[in-house]
Amino acid sequence: MADILYCEVADVVGYTGVQPRDIGCADQTELEAKLTKWIYEAADLIKAYLNFDYESAGDVPRGVQRVCRSMVSDTVVSSTQVRKNPYLRIDDFAVKRVEEVNLDDKNREILKMYKRGTSVANLGLSVPRDTDYDTFWGGD
């Protein structure tokens, strides 16, 4: 079975506008190889978080693709920043090192919908104990 990428290199390039020189690559082929490596790294983090591998399922949901693209795009931005200056000035006295991008809170929130054992139907629905289920679900 061929590898199924969690997002496409072309999507990351289109989203970020990254050029080979931006992240220290000699040419387009080297850029695509680096982005593919980062896509696999992002996919590994997503698989570990979800406890599920969409490669074995044969299809990656669009929301998971979006998270992967976001993670790789953030890595591109981080890489570009580190090449310019590995430190960010917060104010006159505070300086912070540019961090490598990982699975952040916004992406975890999106991925919660794709965790095994969950579905959109059970994410926020709660029914009080004394509810008459027949009328609650539209019965007579």
Whether 44 is covered by a domain: the verdict is yes
Give this prediction's pTM.
0.72
Contact 31, 79 (CB under 8 A): no
Task: Work out the widest C-alpha separation in the chain, in whole angstroms.
Answer: 70
Tell me the per-residue pLDDT of 83-136, one tens digit each, with 9 for 90 and over.
777 666 666 666 666 566 678 888 899 999 888 765 554 444 444 555 555 555
Whether 139 is covered by a domain: the verdict is no
Whether 113 is covered by a domain: the verdict is yes
Tell how many helices (H) and how many strands (E) occur in the chain.
Answer: 6, 2
Tell me the per-residue pLDDT of 4-59, one tens digit each, with 9 for 90 and over.
789 999 999 999 999 999 988 999 999 999 999 999 999 999 999 998 888 787 78
Whether 1 is covered by a domain: the verdict is no
70: domain range? Answer: 9-118
